[in-house]
Structure 1
Amino acid sequence: MSLWPPWRGRSKLGEKDPMGGPSQLPKQDYEALQERCLRNGCLFEDSSFPATLSSIGRGPLLQKLPPRLQWRRPPELHSNPLFYVANTRRLDLCQGLVGDCWLLAALQALTLHQDILSQVVPLNQSFTENYAGIFQFWFWHFGKWVPVVIDDLLPVDEAGQLVFVSSTYKNLFWGALLEKAYAKLCGSYEDLQLGQVSDALLDFTGGVTITINLAEAPGNLWDILTRATYSKTLIGCQTHAGEERMLENGLVDGHAYTVIRIWKVTCNHEPEYLVKLRNPWGKVEWKGDWSDSSSTWDLLSPKEKIVLWRKDNDGEFWMTLKDFKTHFKLLVICKLTPGLLSHEVGQKWSYTMQEGRWEKGTTAGGPINLHQARDTFWKNPQFLLSVWRPKESRTLLMPCSVLVSLIQKPRHRHRNRKLPLAIGFYLFRMSQLSDDQRKLPPEFFLRNHPLVLPEVFRSEKEVSRELWLEPGTYLIVPCTSKAGQESEFILRVFSKKHLFHEIGSNPKTVFFKEIVDQAEGHEKFFKYFERNPEINAAELQKILNHLPWSGLGSTHPLFSLDACQGILALLDLNASGTVSIQEFRDLWKQLIHYQVVFHKHDSNRSGCLNWGQLRAAMKNAGIVLSDDVCYLMLIRYGGPKLQMDFVSFVHLMLRAEKMESIFQNLTQDGKGIYLQKPEWLLMTMYS
């Protein structure tokens, strides 16, 4: 297949797609549908993505199908069907008739991180317990995680073999079902035919994808790969574009692969840098140096050869970094830790997301035209970005690392119906602040040259760039390559400390309107962020105790200073003693979620949870503890009568989620971590 930037996306569920056609995904309650099927003794059939040719597509893919295509459920295909088994070999998926190697390459990368995989694929689903023929998957879809519900009817040939994705273990079906869910999200199986690894990685993680052109790779590429393979990243790559055909060297043109490992060996007393890749086909491998049949393995010590060399036709192979750069075109790194390329892995980063739209005649201004008066560029949406150093870094006169990501939304509910636009963004330095009420006029762009501009406008779902900026205020202008082109977009900014909002809106006004929902007196919260964009524990206490807590009924929580100090300690990894407005925004979203969960399980409206209610509430919020540990948490955070109020519940949930996050960031295999004494003391005492 030819690899080109794919397109997919939906408007909000249940709404009309502003770019044409209704949203493809209906509102489907997985738990309610499953319960109804169990109660009625039937298996779920998804009328919104039926087991018919309409779900497969309407183009060339239909010509590839076997003559007697059938739809069967896994229990009809195997005597012992399994959804997922953790202790099997993880890289177990093979591509079928659909040309979705880009999806499979990203999915293979996903299986290397069990915690990320379990977020996309709920691993507690099965064909035995509460089986009703219904399954659910989660995808990061333009700023939020959305569930996709499917039935388990899969297309097979007359012999009962899966037509599309299958597993090397014939009784495992999670990959085939996930492909079906993703096909539903994208419109049909045929809408998976062409694509790019970066798009699937984005949909699986919500991370930021960095694409490196290997012909222009930086000199420290091996260092980048080393940091990537030992941190929260997923890595894919693509050969040179063209028709999908196998070359004499064993590689496939127009094809996507997964980078699964790197290793430095000693060969002839010199270091040799090796990269291990996997072909989503599960076969067809590289035939050059360091391939399975290469004699170069004899140059290694017996120990290294035993560790690295496998002679299996399983699609996995080694090659040198030099050959990798020669024969592959793109390296795609999906970053879940924004400091990957800047040596700042594990540091505290703020994250802000803004939505916008390019509309013909109003906000679709197109790029800067150096040969004409810039009379349309200024019409593009304009965003102010203020960047400053964290307190602990102010003595180091280093620029601030800022990661900017621009994602365009869909123009059609079927992913392949309309190609993505070519997009990019400009960045200008602001010598003085705007009044925040109106766009900067054309004169500003005639007098000021961009500090950063697109090297090339790219027809991709996401374009991103890591910048090093001096503290100050900047203007970001996202645009398309031509004026008048319409689309919606998401603009994300990652940094240690920043404020970010669209010109024409006061960030504090918008933020607190979100918080209090236009409650009277909300303007009194402004003063806490006016003098300094950070607040301490005492100011946090004032804000929390003045906020409306309508979701808790008549019970109004009272946050003590000690409780706020504990909350701040959990958020404040840099030990600055303060939190920013963005961090408070994230905290508020968590508090809203905890409020809903707490009120749901406080069935007697006492304002407190007992042991059984606490256990159910934590499970509902995504934290599963054993009965003994849950009881200990009630003793630790509850009152003398073993009852836990809302404030204590918030402190417990924040601590549990933070500890889980720390563990996942530190573990390499999901089984354990190693901490030195100072790190252990910091985690146990300060948090």
Structure 2
Amino acid sequence: MISRAEGTRRQGRLHNLPATSLNPETTTEPSSWREILRRWCPGKGRMLSPSSAPMPERGWQTTGATGSLQKVKKFNSQDFRELRALCLSQGLLFEDATFPAHSSSIGARLLPQEELWQIQWKRPTELQRNPYLIMDGVSRFDIMQGEIGDCWMLAALGSLTLRKQFLENVLPKDQGFQDDYAGIFHFRFWQYGEWVDVVIDDRLPILNGRYLFVHPRTSNEFWPSLLEKAYAKLRGSYQNLNGGYLSDALVDLTGGVQVQFSLRDPPPDLKEILKAADRSQCLMGCSTPGQARRNIELKNGIVQGHAYTITGAVKIPYKNGWKHIIRIWNPWGHGEWKGPWSDNSHQWDRVEPKYREALLRNKDDGEFWMSYENFQEQFSWLYICNSTPTFLDFGDEHCSVWSLTSYTNLWSQGLPTRKSHYSSGAASTNPQYFFKVLDHDPNTYNVAISLMQKHAEGMQDEKNLKIGFFLSMENSRVLKQIFFRTRDVTSYLTLSPGTYSVLPAAAEEQEFQFLLRIFIRNQDHHESSYSLTSPRLPMDIPRENQDSSYKALFLKYAKQDSTIDALQLQQLLNEVILKDEMTSLGGRFSFDSCRSILALMDLNSNGRLTLQEFGSLWQRLTKYMDIFIREDRNHSGFLDAAELKNAIQAAGLASDGRLVRLLALRYGDAGGRLGFCDFLCCMLRLDTMSHAFQNLAKGGSQILMTAMEWLTLVMYT
């Protein structure tokens, strides 16, 4: 069964709006040496935006695919290999104390109390003489839904079996009943930006000699039952699988972006979206109207309040034209549509044999074909999911390249909500995120925005808040707002070139985390995705609307006197900046390098950074991070001498071949390459000294200063 989710399909074609310029502040004449230092870099001493500082309070930003299987989180801190090795060394079968063979793992309200006490927990080795995890590959036809109403999860799982690129992420191959069997298995699920490895024992609940929940069609194949148990553990109990959202399960099994389409008010190009989704290997599902958990089966074979898997969408020649038909699978493993295009319908008699033989499977296995028109009549919602929104690539012979930027942050109590008036005040206190659209085709979608609310660990069944976002162009008026009471709110759009801001919001005042993902279609497939999305704030945004999130980051690491010393700066840079894979490859920030960075920005010469000084540092840091990523053409995590020269030019600084060679010798490794930490130290010093000379020379080519002034300049900074 399924609890019907509200649809989030909205579309818009938005156009350019006038930009607003930043009014520069004036500087005063220097009255001391430190005042001269203030003039080295225009912006020191001002609260310029830290280029839309991408690290809001307790937040971070990533570019590229969300979540990595190289850094899988261990659920409940359980390590599968260590636990299995321990069991094998002791000759024991694993028993999971965190999800025990007890009624608490079932849930108190799922079954009558007398049935709960009758449940027996048995291992596959007790149920079958020769059990297997997988036999002859993984198929949707291996699944047969049990007593629990988790069709929403099984429909997503059925779709997963068709997409091997995702299946291998969820179902690791390093386990089974034949080799190193110790009664322990593990499965992976995507949760709010990271993959989570869930360990279980293989004791399954049996009631009156029958599987209580999902059971395999082949008696000695156990991957569906064990995977379902792992998902139940992730969500707290089997009871928490009894009714849910198909859209949530699709995302949990892929880490992808999902979009829901109302079949009562479908977009005009839905047929094309369906075909593009099938062609590009998307996961797809659908749901019927009606009350969940009642299992009402209509005379035509369709179950009300139920979730299904979409397993195909094609256009075939029929009579004198073409017919769009859709293939659908019921997680029950039986029960099919009895209308036109069903297994025995006469429509197939008029289909060419080569199409009929390729498409028709006349078997009571829960799978059937139906026309697009009947599909729209019988079903209420369509769900499509993929790692990128390739279902919007209809009209393309090949899937487009989509760039992705992700942000994780915290909504705090007291921040403006949807109820608040959207104003410059609201925009300055709520975290905002900016992205650029370089080009567009008015006939295709080029942006998808996904916002997900994060529930606390162990509280996945917690009630969803009503969440959404405001979309503006360069902090002008709101162009779009969308709010729904679902875990995940997604919108796809056609946007004209320009810079846009996304302001996440909630309809209720409650502290909780969120994940924001922005997908942008690349018009030039050779264009680096990093140039298309950016967490930086454009310099023509009014100051009152600048993102204040770097302040929260500063306060998180600052001392009680609201300053940061070199040790705290080292911790901040290593924990926040090196979250990005490209910036982390060149090594970590050393204490010495952080002392040098601090000295360059320390206007008060006290060995600490104030919030104002940190703001100037952050603005430069994000600028140089952009340049570093853009100039690192081969994504090695280093810049060679030629790339360093290009980076210096991109920063607007003067250099020649001799200077570049010296910088590579001074800041580079044995091969003359600079990682991001060394590159940042190099660019900060080069930038600072260049501006110092320009300001002190006052337009000339020479400067005059005393020996002590010179020593103060070169020895501290």
Same fold (TM over 0.5): yes
Helix, strand or coil at the partner of 2:380:
strand
Structure 2 residue identity aligned to 1:449: R
Deviation track 1:115-173 (CA, whole Å, cap 9, x = no partner) reads: 211110113311010000000111111110111000000011333x3211111111110
Helix, strand or coil at the partner of 1:181:
helix
Superposed counterparts of 1:179-194, under 5 Å: 179-194=228-243
Identify the match of residue 143 of structure 2 among 62, 72, 93.
93
Identify the match of residue 490 of structure 2 among 464, 471, 488.
464
> Given the superposition, is the C-alpha separation of residues 458 and 542 from structure 1 closer, same or farther in structure 2, using an over 3 Å criterion?
closer
- Residue 419 of structure 1: aligned partner: 463
Q: How much does 1:517 deviate?
A: 4.8
Superposed counterparts of 1:620-635, under 5 Å: none
Superposed counterparts of 1:412-491, under 5 Å: 413-416=458-461, 418-430=462-474, 448-454=476-482, 457-482=483-508, 484-491=509-516
Superposed counterparts of 1:212-223, under 5 Å: 212-223=261-272
Measure the CA separation in 2 of the matches of 1:528 and 1:337. Answer: 28
Superposed counterparts of 1:517-532, under 5 Å: 517=589, 519-521=591-593, 528-529=624-625
Measure the CA separation in 1 of the matches of 2:409 and 2:577. Answer: 20
Superposed counterparts of 1:576-655, under 5 Å: none
RMSD: 3.5
Superposed counterparts of 1:387-398, under 5 Å: 387-389=436-438
Residue 401 (structure 1) aligned with residue 497 (structure 2)? no
- Residue 149 of structure 1: aligned partner: 199
> Given the superposition, is the C-alpha separation of residues 133 and 194 from structure 1 closer, same or farther in structure 2, using an over 3 Å criterion?
same
- Residue 109 of structure 1: aligned partner: 159
Measure the CA separation in 1 of the matches of 2:378 and 2:507. Answer: 30
Q: How much does 1:111 deviate?
A: 0.2
CA contact (8 A) 2:287 2:307 kept: yes
- Residue 418 of structure 2: aligned partner: 366
CA contact (8 A) 1:24 1:185 kept: no
Measure the CA separation in 2 of the matches of 1:375 and 1:292. Answer: 60
Superposed counterparts of 1:114-513, under 5 Å: 114-159=164-209, 161-243=210-292, 244=294, 245-343=296-394, 346-361=399-414, 363-369=415-421, 377-378=426-427, 381-389=430-438, 401-410=446-455, 413-416=458-461, 418-430=462-474, 448-454=476-482, 457-482=483-508, 484-495=509-520, 496=522, 497-500=532-535, 503-505=547-549, 512=577
> Given the superposition, is the C-alpha separation of residues 544 and 112 from structure 1 closer, same or farther in structure 2, using an over 3 Å criterion?
farther
Residue 75 (structure 1) aligned with residue 129 (structure 2)? no
CA contact (8 A) 1:384 1:476 kept: yes
CA contact (8 A) 1:365 1:376 kept: no
Q: How much does 1:223 deviate?
A: 1.3
Deviation track 1:6-55 (CA, whole Å, cap 9, x = no partner) reads: 9xxxx99xxxxxxxxxx995211111110010000000000000001000
Q: How much does 1:398 deviate?
A: 9.9
Q: How much does 1:422 deviate?
A: 1.3
Measure the CA separation in 2 of the matches of 1:400 and 1:309. Answer: 34
Identify the match of residue 36 of structure 1 among 78, 83, 86.
86
Deviation track 1:444-495 (CA, whole Å, cap 9, x = no partner) reads: xxxx4201211xx21111111223333433221111124x233211111222
Measure the CA separation in 2 of the matches of 1:307 and 1:247. Answer: 29
> Given the superposition, is the C-alpha separation of residues 541 and 202 from structure 1 closer, same or farther in structure 2, using an over 3 Å criterion?
closer
CA contact (8 A) 1:365 1:380 kept: no
Measure the CA separation in 2 of the matches of 1:348 and 1:560. Answer: 34
> Given the superposition, is the C-alpha separation of residues 485 and 82 from structure 1 closer, same or farther in structure 2, using an over 3 Å criterion?
same
CA contact (8 A) 1:233 1:337 kept: no
Measure the CA separation in 1 of the matches of 2:639 and 2:433. Answer: 26
- Residue 534 of structure 1: aligned partner: 630
Structure 2 residue identity aligned to 1:349: W
Deviation track 1:357-403 (CA, whole Å, cap 9, x = no partner) reads: 22222x2523455xxx86985476232313153xxx79x99999222
Measure the CA separation in 2 of the matches of 1:383 and 1:313. Answer: 52
Identity, % of aligned positions: 35
Q: Which has the higher contact order (CA 8 A, sep 6+)?
A: 2
Measure the CA separation in 2 of the matches of 1:304 and 1:348. Answer: 32
Structure 2 residue identity aligned to 1:114: K
Measure the CA separation in 2 of the matches of 1:180 and 1:333. Answer: 25
CA contact (8 A) 1:382 1:475 kept: no
- Residue 3 of structure 1: aligned partner: 3
Measure the CA separation in 1 of the matches of 2:335 and 2:185. Answer: 32
Q: How much does 1:544 deviate?
A: 8.2
Q: How much does 1:174 deviate?
A: 0.6
CA contact (8 A) 2:348 2:356 kept: yes
Structure 1 residue identity aligned to 2:318: C
Deviation track 1:642-679 (CA, whole Å, cap 9, x = no partner) reads: xxxxxxxxxxxxxxxxxxxxxxxxxxxxxxxxxxxxxx
Structure 1 residue identity aligned to 2:515: I
> Given the superposition, is the C-alpha separation of residues 519 and 57 from structure 1 closer, same or farther in structure 2, using an over 3 Å criterion?
same
| Structure 1 stretch displaced more, 56-65 or 498-507 | 498-507
CA contact (8 A) 1:24 1:187 kept: no
Helix, strand or coil at the partner of 1:451:
strand
CA contact (8 A) 1:262 1:276 kept: yes
Normalising by structure 2, report the TM-score: 0.65
> Given the superposition, is the C-alpha separation of residues 39 and 449 from structure 1 closer, same or farther in structure 2, using an over 3 Å criterion?
same
CA contact (8 A) 1:388 1:400 kept: no
Structure 2 residue identity aligned to 1:106: A
CA contact (8 A) 1:152 1:177 kept: yes
Measure the CA separation in 2 of the matches of 1:526 and 1:375. Answer: 24
- Residue 27 of structure 2: aligned partner: none
Helix, strand or coil at the partner of 1:198:
helix
| Structure 1 stretch displaced more, 216-225 or 526-535 | 526-535
Measure the CA separation in 2 of the matches of 1:557 and 1:346. Answer: 40
CA contact (8 A) 2:105 2:237 kept: yes
CA contact (8 A) 1:387 1:400 kept: no
Deviation track 1:328-353 (CA, whole Å, cap 9, x = no partner) reads: 11100002233430456644433222
CA contact (8 A) 1:232 1:336 kept: no
Measure the CA separation in 1 of the matches of 2:634 and 2:354. Answer: 60
Measure the CA separation in 2 of the matches of 1:287 and 1:398. Answer: 38
Helix, strand or coil at the partner of 1:452:
strand
Measure the CA separation in 2 of the matches of 1:542 and 1:296. Answer: 62
Helix, strand or coil at the partner of 1:49:
coil
| Structure 1 stretch displaced more, 461-470 or 227-236 | 461-470
Q: How much does 1:57 deviate?
A: 0.2
